[in-house]
Structure formats: C-alpha cells, structure tokens
C-alpha cells in the first residue's frame, strides 16, 4: 500500500439518532446522510473516500460500529454527525473503545431556516444545534481528543477543515505503521536529536531501529553498472548540468552518487522503511555523504533526518503524507543563517546537502562541490532556490517523558539577491510575526534546529496531527508574543504533567 497517496484509506461517516421519531424520520436521516457524503465524495474534493455507515440508534449499534472502525485497517477516522438528538449515554461504550481519530461535524442539512414553512416536524428533524451539544458533552466528559467542525457541509471553509483533518488522520495512520531506519547513530554530543524511542513508539506508533552503515554499503556495492548508467542518464535529463559534473572526477563522483541512491532505495524498499537517517560521522565504505540520493528519496515521499535525527525523519514523513497530492512541497530544513535588518529580518534555511527539490521555485541544477565535514569525497547535490509563499516550520522535541511539537508560520520569499557562491539548495523566509519574536519564542519552547518545512502543509494539519497523537503543540503565528508563548509553556508544563499521571 502506497500510503503517501491517501487514496487507499477511508473515513467512516456515522450518523447518530434514536428511535423516538419513528421510522419515517430515520429513513430521512439516512437519506440526508447519504446525500452529504455523496457531495463530499464528488469531484475528488476530499483526499480519501468517505464511507456512509448505517444510522446508529442504540448503544449496541454504536458500540459495534465504533469497534469495527477501530479494527478496520483502512479506516483512518470517524466523522460523527448528529442530524437529530442521540442521547449520549448510548455513546460512552463505543467512544471509549474507539482507537481512531474522531471529527464531530456540527452541520445541518439545510444552511438556512425556511422561515415561511418551518414547523415542528422540521424542528424535530434538524436538531444539530442541540443534538451536537449532547454528543459534544460526552466527548468532553470522556476527555477525548477530537476535532469539532461547525458550519454548512457545502461551505468551502468547512470542506477545508475536514480535508485538513483527513490528511492528518492519514499521516497518523501511516505513523502508526512507520518503520524508521537509523543508519549510524546520531551526531556525537548533540542533544536535540536524542530522545526516547520507546515513548515515541507508544505515542506516534513508529518504530526506530539502528543499522550499521555497512548494511547499506552492501546494497550500494551490489549495484550494477547498467543500473548506474541508467540513473545517470536520468540525472542528466532531469536537471541543469552545473559545476563539477563534467570531466573525469565529475563522472566518477556522479557514478558513486548514483550507486548510493540505487543502493539506498533497495535497502529502504526491502526493509519497508518510509523514513531514515544518516550521519556524516559514520560513512565507512561510502565514497561520499548521500546528497542527491536523500534529496530524491524525499521527493518520492520518504522522510529523512540528518545526523541521526529520527524524530525529524518521522516528522518529515508525516508531513509528506499530510501534503500528498498537493502541488507544493515538503522537506527537511534547518535554520542556517540570519539576515538581520531593521526593515525585515530573514532566515536563510538550508542543510549540508539534503533539501528536497519539491520545494524548489525554479531551475534545479546538479552539481559537485567539496564538503568540509565528513572527510569523504566531494558529494553530488541538487542546488536550487525555494519557492516563495506561505510555509510552516515544524519541530518535534523530547522534553523528557513526553514530546512537544513547535510550529512557526513563515513567509518564504525569493532570495533578495543571487547566491552564486552557495553550493546548496536554500530557502529564504520571513518568520511570522517577525524574526525577533519567532526565534525567541522558538528557543524558549526548545524547538530544534532541524525542522519539517512545508508549503503544502499548514498549521491546521499539524494541529490536528498533534491532537491525534495527544501531544503538546506550541504554535508561533501572527498572534504570538514572546510572553504569551512563555506563559503557554508554563501552563502546559503543569497540564501535561498532571495529564500523564504516574
Ligand atoms: Mn543538521
């Protein structure tokens, strides 16, 4: 199953009611539910298919349906709608056993009130306004993480909010099955790339296991010359030929890079890994640090973290799934260097090599340049400028016994000038609300230097994902001040400490 398409998944639409209104009303409720789902499924509006389940009217029906949703592998979440009133004690058992994300769609069949014809029959059928409150009470009483979306089901805002939740649910389902290969350990002495892999598996579901770089080298050494030449042809036809490619040394380095890519793909495919890490401190047997290989694997939907950063690898993978099928890209990123300026301070984001070309704004060139660290031969890399436009930077850190997600909304811009001497892919952005506030808030929150950067995924996707995982999210956006974030951090420390219990 290719989980980056989201199309293999489904979401169940469950409508709650009861027998108080008679069979005619229940028939109408079922028809109306079907109509809403058909509309949501039409024109490929939604990233996954929505399946109408029967209207549930008793505790037994509710429990059975939500148990089935929990057990069904392709079901990534449940949308619940209370067209009428559905007494919520009937929902306690089912909701307590539901293991999939829940969205309460607080909508109504008709958008407006038919003022001239409204009577008590209409009122008894269109009871969302209080039926949804009864259902909402039990969700709060059970302390359930869930998303509540209010508005008419035909409105674009409502559709966008459901779409975001579905994408997050797809990423969460993927995360629960994800295998992360950690090739080599993490960069020595680095703090933020460490963490509790057991707790990560409990919270996010993904498993992280270590491999020696020699395990990868065996795959690289097994690559045939024919395969290598074919991939080099693909490189040459896909990118502008830049510095260092032509000539004897260039050809040799290109061959080494292509072999690494083919070997890495085979290693990941055979192990079923959809995310991985490398580290420049452990490259024994590889001629160069994997650069173009990592870039192209990320473009294919694989998550990556450098220097052993497995949390970022899994995060990039989750963001790839959330953004599946959307035109803009997602990549590993690192806040690299600043442009302090009285008018508009900026960040230049890049990495040693490994930025995904899906965030490129134009021409991509393939180049070879020396790399000062790692002690290996000059690596092949793709060089480009990132596309302008709104984006997010997201980090997951282990704050000791639990995880925190940090998000900053940013505005990527075209680099103010050409960067003729910088031989790596890069993105320039203006953090929101401004660099001084955003960077200080980020640092107080403990956000990492590595991030998942995306123009496809927005704050709502990430908020929904954090909610599904039940972890803290610190969101730095236009409404943030340093003091507001510091206060939120203090309050959250207490909340999550109490929430986790013993
Ligand atoms: Mn790094």
* Each residue's pLDDT tens digit, 6-30: 988 999 999 999 999 899 999 999 9
**Confidence check: pLDDT of 43 > 90:** no
Cα(280) to ligand 1 centroid in Å equals 10
Classify the phi-psi angles of 458: left when phi > 0, otherwise alpha if psi is within -120 to 50, otherwise beta: beta
**Alpha-helical runs (H) found in 401-478:** 435-445, 459-469
Cα-based angle 243, 335, 422 (whole degrees, multiple of 5)? 20
What's the 335 CA to ligand 1 centre distance in angstroms?
9
pLDDT tens column, 311-332: 999 999 999 999 999 999 999 9
Q: How far is the CA of 213 from the centre of ligand 1 (A)?
A: 18
Q: Determine what percent of the chain is predicted with pLDDT higher than 90.
A: 95
10-176 CATH fold: Rossmann fold (3.40.50)
Could you tell me the CA-to-CA distances from 366 to 149, 239, 292, 296 in Å, in that order?
Answer: 45, 6, 8, 12
Residue 343's alpha-carbon distances to 214, 216, 334, 377, 410, in angstroms, are: 50, 48, 23, 41, 16
What is the mean pLDDT of the segment spanning 39-57? 93
Query: Comparing C-alpha atoms, which of 24, 91, 28, 34 is closest to residue 57?
Result: 91
What are the DSSP calls for 301-369, one per residue?
T-EEESTT-HHHHHHHHHHHHHTTT-SS-EEEEEEEEEE--SS--EEEEE-SS---GGGB-S--EEEE-
Determine the pLDDT at residue 356.
Answer: 98
Summarize pLDDT for 458-474 with one digit per residue, the tens.
Answer: 999 999 999 999 999 99
Between the CA of 206 and the centroid of ligand 1 the distance, in Å, is: 22
The pLDDT, as a whole number, for residue 3 is 47
pLDDT of residue 279: 96
Domain ranges for the chain, please list them. Answer: 10-176, 179-499
Each residue of 247-297: pLDDT tens digit?
A: 999 999 999 999 999 999 999 999 999 999 999 999 999 999 999 999 999
Report which of 129, 97, 76 is spatially closest to residue 468, judged by C-alpha positions: 76
Q: How far is the C-alpha of 467 from the C-alpha of 34, rounded, in Å?
A: 28
Q: Residue 382 forms beta bridges with which residues?
A: 366
Whether the per-residue pLDDT at 385 is higher than 70: the answer is: yes
Ligand 1 centroid to residue 450 C-alpha, Å: 6
Measured in angstroms, how far is the CA atom of residue 140 from the centroid of ligand 1? 41
447 with 406: CB under 8 angstroms? yes
Q: Which two tokens stand for residue 283?
A: 């490259």
380 C-beta neighbours (distance < 10 Å), count: 30
- The Å distance, Cα 449 to ligand 1 centre, comes to 7
- Residue 474 Cα to ligand 1 middle (Å): 22
Confidence of residue 4 (pLDDT cuts 50, 70, 90): low
- Residues whose CB is less than 8 angstroms from the CB of residue 73 and which lie 6 or more positions away in sequence, other chains included: none
Q: From ligand 1's centre to the CA of 353, what distance in Å? A: 10
């Amino acid at each position: 199953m290719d989980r980056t398409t989201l199309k293999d998944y489904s979401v169940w639409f469950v409508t709650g009611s009861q027998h108080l209104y008679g069979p005619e009303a229940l028939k109408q409720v079922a028809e109306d539910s079907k109509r809403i789902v058909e509309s949501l499924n039409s024109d490929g509006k939604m990233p996954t298919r929505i399946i109408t389940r029967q209207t549930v009217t008793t505790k037994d029906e509710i429990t059975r349906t939500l148990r089935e949703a929990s057990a069904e592998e392709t079901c990534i979440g449940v949308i619940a709608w209370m067209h009428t009133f559905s007494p919520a004690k009937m929902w306690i058992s089912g909701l307590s056993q539901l293991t999939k994300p829940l969205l309460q769609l607080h909508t109504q069949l008709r958008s407006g009130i038919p003022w001239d014809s409204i009577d008590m029959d209409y009122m008894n059928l269109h009871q969302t306004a209080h039926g949804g409150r009864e259902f909402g009470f039990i969700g709060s009483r059970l302390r359930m993480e869930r998303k509540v979306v209010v508005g008419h089901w035909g409105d674009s805002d409502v559709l966008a909010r459901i779409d975001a939740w579905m994408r997050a649910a797809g990423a969460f389902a993927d995360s629960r099955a994800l295998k992360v290969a950690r090739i080599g350990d993490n960069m020595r002495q680095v703090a933020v790339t460490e963490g509790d892999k057991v707790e990560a598996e409990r919270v996010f579901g993904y498993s992280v296991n270590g491999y020696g770089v020699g395990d990868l080298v065996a795959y690289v050494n097994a690559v045939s010359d024919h395969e290598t030449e074919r991939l080099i042809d693909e490189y040459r036809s896909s990118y502008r030929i830049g510095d260092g490619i032509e000539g004897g040394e260039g050809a040799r380095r290109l061959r080494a890079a292509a072999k690494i890519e083919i070997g890495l793909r085979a290693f990941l495919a055979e192990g079923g890994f959809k995310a991985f890490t490398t580290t420049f401190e452990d490259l024994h047997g590889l001629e160069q640090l994997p650069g173009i290989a990592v870039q192209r694997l990320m473009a294919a939907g694989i998550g990556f973290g450098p220097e052993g950063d497995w949390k970022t690898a899994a995060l990039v993978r989750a963001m790839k799934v959330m953004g599946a099928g959307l035109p803009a890209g997602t990549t590993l990123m690192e806040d690299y260097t600043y442009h302090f300026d009285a008018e508009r301070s900026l960040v230049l984001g890049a990495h040693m090599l490994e930025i995904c070309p899906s965030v490129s704004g134009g021409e991509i060139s393939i180049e070879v340049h020396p790399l000062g660290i790692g002690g290996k031969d000059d690596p092949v890399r793709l060089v480009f400028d990132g596309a302008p436009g709104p984006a997010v930077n997201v980090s997951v850190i282990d704050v000791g016994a639990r995880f925190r997600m940090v998000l900053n909304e940013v505005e990527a811009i075209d680099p103010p000038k050409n960067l003729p001497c910088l031989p790596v892919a890069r993105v320039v952005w203006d953090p929101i609300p401004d660099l001084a506030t955003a960077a200080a808030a980020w640092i107080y929150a403990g956000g990492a230097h590595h991030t998942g950067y995306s123009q496809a995924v927005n704050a709502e996707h990430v908020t929904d994902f954090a909610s599904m995982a039940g972890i803290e999210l610190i969101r730095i956006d236009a409404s943030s001040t340093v003091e507001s974030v510091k206060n939120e951090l203090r309050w959250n420390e207490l909340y999550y400490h109490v929430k986790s219990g013993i």
